[in-house]
């Protein structure tokens, strides 16, 4: 079947949404489908069209940016052509352009599914507020026009202002998670590069350096952790410089972080490829997600960490708390509460050896091929409904 996947940003852009989209696109292609991704040409050094892992990627020129969004005048005509060619359509939200694709899918009677990743919270400012309202409006139209909406957990669906209005269309499908195999030498080399003094324990955080990720909560929790574990160390994996819309946030935290860097307590290891992410997980004792709001809906990195035997401490947010609750691999901390976070970190460190994951069950639940099969069933269900309606 010919599947069109639409989203604003695709790889090599790094976010939970783009990683999910890449994994499901590859899995569908591996199952024999012709997969095309329609996205933005958000960076000058990437091609307008290419094929990666059997997935065709078409990137539409960007005229201008509005906050974190993009304006693409050629998007509509390109979408019309690709929707006409497709058998199924999958859209990843939040996305301003999704409503237009969903409308084309509805008019041409193409099974259309929205995968909703998180609620949208834009930075302060009139332009950001305007962009936020526009995206919310278009997301709402996309929900009305699509046949089904996929989300990661029922917990998030029931608490999301967006999803709770469309519960009859909701289907819960776990996200696809997969990581490459590594070697003992690679794990050791990563550790020597990023923890040469073998300081212990090592606390990991894997995220973009962004306001909603709650970096300051971890900073405020560290003194209590260091009091008990004076040789504790933080490794932060992910983009941390020049994040659009996060410049003021980075400046506000820079002094505290610099003190920890100078003291050997904190290191930014940068944006890592999938193999080095495995080596990162194998060199930490726990992963923290001190996220602050519903822009975080699950936290794929929690499952990645658990697949490598690493427990997590996550905020008590709908959806985000589910990996720890499902798999009993860590603790939950109250949102934005540094005292609660430090207490949860210390509890995990004190009981680390008791937290052993059921690796076989975790790998099976999040296997991309299994998730792709669920999507196939969903599209078949919609196609049957459309066929019955025609009779």
Give the DSSP per-residue string, 221-287. HHHHHHHH-TT-EEEEES--SS-TT-HHHHHHHHHHHHHHHHTTSEEEEES--HHHHHHHHTT-SEE
Q: Which two tokens stand for residue 277?
A: 């992410």
Domains of the chain: 2-176+367-390 (3.40.50.2000), 184-364 (3.40.50.2000)
pLDDT in tens, 160-209: 988 999 999 999 999 999 999 999 999 999 999 999 988 899 999 999 89
Q: Angle formed by the axes of helices 75-85 and 98-107, to 10°? A: 40
Pairing of strands 330-333, 266-270: unpaired
Are 31 and 369 in contact by the 8 Å Cβ rule? The answer is: yes
Q: How far apart are CA 216 and CA 363, in angstroms?
A: 32
Lowest mean pLDDT among 4-8, 36-40, 71-75: 71-75
The residues, any chain, with a CB within 8 Å of residue 22's CB and separated by 6 or more, are 10, 11, 55
pLDDT in tens, 227-241: 999 999 999 999 998
Q: What is the DSSP string of 363-378?
A: HHHT-HHHHHHHHHHH
Task: Please state the rounded mean pLDDT for residues 344-363.
Answer: 92
**What is the model's pTM?**
0.89
Q: Which two tokens stand for residue 368?
A: 């991309």
**How buried is residue 41: exposed, middle or buried, by Cβ count under 10 Å (0-12/13-18/19+)?**
middle
Q: What pLDDT score was predicted for residue 124? A: 57
Torsion of CA 179, 374, 100, 136, to 10 degrees: -70
> Positive or negative CA dihedral for 241, 242, 244, 246?
positive
Q: How far apart are CA 88 and CA 328, in angstroms?
A: 37
3-state secondary structure of 166: helix
Residue (of 320, 349, 340, 316) closest to 234 by Cα position: 349
pLDDT(243) > 90 = no
**Measured CA angle at 91 (ends 99, 35), to 5 deg:** 130
Q: How far apart are CA 213 and CA 207, in angstroms?
A: 7
Task: Please state the rounded mean pLDDT for residues 277-296.
Answer: 95
Residue (of 144, 150, 112) closest to 385 by Cα position: 112
Helices marked H in 146-177 — which ranges?
154-159
pLDDT in tens, 300-342: 999 999 999 999 999 999 999 999 999 999 999 999 999 999 9
**How buried is residue 252: exposed, middle or buried, by Cβ count under 10 Å (0-12/13-18/19+)?**
exposed
Helices marked H in 108-205 — which ranges?
126-145, 154-159, 184-194
Average pLDDT score, the chain? 92
Torsion of CA 4, 5, 8, 12, to 10 degrees: -120
Q: How far apart are CA 348 and CA 328, in angstroms?
A: 11
Q: How far apart are CA 230 and CA 224, in angstroms?
A: 10
Q: How far apart are CA 348 and CA 257, in angstroms?
A: 23
Are 69 and 123 in contact by the 8 Å Cβ rule? The answer is: no
Q: What pLDDT score was predicted for residue 67? A: 66
pLDDT(389) > 90 = no
Residue (of 12, 21, 6, 35) closest to 139 by Cα position: 6
Write down the residue that tokens 């995990």 correspond to: 348
pLDDT cut 90: percent of the chain above it? 79
pLDDT(127) > 90 = no
Q: What pLDDT score was predicted for residue 295? A: 84
Task: Give the bridge partners for 314, in sequence order.
Answer: 289, 332
Q: What pLDDT score was predicted for residue 325? A: 95
Q: Which two tokens stand for residue 69?
A: 């969004």
Lowest mean pLDDT among 63-77, 98-112, 270-284: 63-77
The residues, any chain, with a CB within 8 Å of residue 10's CB and separated by 6 or more, are 18, 21, 22, 37, 39, 57, 59
Are 315 and 333 in contact by the 8 Å Cβ rule? The answer is: yes
């Amino acid at each position: 079947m010919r599947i069109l996947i639409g989203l604003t940003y695709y790889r090599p852009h790094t976010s939970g949404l783009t990683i999910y989209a890449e994994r499901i696109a590859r899995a569908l292609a591996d199952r024999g489908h012709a997969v095309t991704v329609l996205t933005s040409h958000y960076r000058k050094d990437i091609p307008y069209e290419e094929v990666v892992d059997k997935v065709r990627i078409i990137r539409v020129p960007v005229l201008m940016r509005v906050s974190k969004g993009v304006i693409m005048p050629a998007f509509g005509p390109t979408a019309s052509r690709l929707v006409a060619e497709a058998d199924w359509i999958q859209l990843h939200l939040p996305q301003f352009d999704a409503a237009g694709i969903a409308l084309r899918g509805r008019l041409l009677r193409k099974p259309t599914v929205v995968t909703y990743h998180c609620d949208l919270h834009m930075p302060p400012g009139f332009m950001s507020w305007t962009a936020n309202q526009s995206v919310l409006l278009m997301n709402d139209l996309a929900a009305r026009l699509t046949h089904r909406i996929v989300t990661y957990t029922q917990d998030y669906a029931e608490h999301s202002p967006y999803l709770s209005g469309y519960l009859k269309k909701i289907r819960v499908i776990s996200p696809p998670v997969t990581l490459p195999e590594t070697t003992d030498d690679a794990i050791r080399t990563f550790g020597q590069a990023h923890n040469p003094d073998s300081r212990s324990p090592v606390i990991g955080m894997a995220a973009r350096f962004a306001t909603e990720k709650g970096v300051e909560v971890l900073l405020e929790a560290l003194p209590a952790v260091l009091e008990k574990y004076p040789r504790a160390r933080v490794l932060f994996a992910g983009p941390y410089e020049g994040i659009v819309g996060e410049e003021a946030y980075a400046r506000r935290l820079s002094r505290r972080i610099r003190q920890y860097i100078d003291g050997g307590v904190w290191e930014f290891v940068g944006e890592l490829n999938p193999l080095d992410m495995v080596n990162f997980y194998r060199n930490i004792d726990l992963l923290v997600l001190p996220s602050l709001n519903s822009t975080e809906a699950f936290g794929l990195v929690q499952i990645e960490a658990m697949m490598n035997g690493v427990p997590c401490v996550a905020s008590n947010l709908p959806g985000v708390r589910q990996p720890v609750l499902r798999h009993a691999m860590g603790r939950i901390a109250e949102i934005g509460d540094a005292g609660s976070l430090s207490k949860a970190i210390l509890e995990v460190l004190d009981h680390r050896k008791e937290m052993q994951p059921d690796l076989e069950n975790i790998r099976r639940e999040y296997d991309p091929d299994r998730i792709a099969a669920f999507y196939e069933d969903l599209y078949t269900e919609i196609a049957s409904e459309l066929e019955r309606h025609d009779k």
